[in-house]
Amino acid sequence: MAGNWTFFTNHAHVLFCISQDPDIRLREVALKVGITERATQRIVFELEDSGYLRHERQGRRNHYELNLRAPLRHPLEEHVTVGDLIAQLRAQLAET
């Protein structure tokens, strides 16, 4: 039985959505990831609190900036940065 799991966490999905569009609304991120807007807000707060992301208010919207030099958290991947991961995902998507 395969189940409905994926290889990436919701945190990774949110980070990738924001990397594709730094001006994206969290409502749009939630729809793309398939989680609630409230869960998306919590994830963004956790990513900011951990130094992976920051936001700046621009008028009525937020503009997000990723810390591409931040290392991934798990000991197996701590030698890989957020920038490495995003670049690899973008390269793979460009090939399809």
Q: What is the pTM of this model?
A: 0.90
| Residue 86: inside a domain | yes
| Residue 2: inside a domain | no
| Residue 59: inside a domain | yes
In this structure, the dihedral spanned by the alpha carbons of residues 81, 51, 91 and 31, taken in order and rounded to 10 degrees, is 140
Encode the chain (96 residues) as per-residue pLDDT tens digits: 577 888 999 999 999 999 999 999 999 999 999 999 999 999 999 999 999 999 999 999 999 999 999 999 999 999 999 999 999 999 988 887
Whole-number Å distance between alpha carbons of 42 and 66: 16
Q: Token digits for 8?
A: 């990436």
Amino acid identity, position 19:
S
| Residue 1: inside a domain | no
Domain containing residue 21: 10-95
Whole-number Å distance between alpha carbons of 43 and 94: 27
| Residue 19: inside a domain | yes
Whole-number Å distance between alpha carbons of 82 and 51: 11
Query: Domain count of the chain?
Result: 1
CATH number at residue 27: 1.10.10.10
| Residue 37: inside a domain | yes
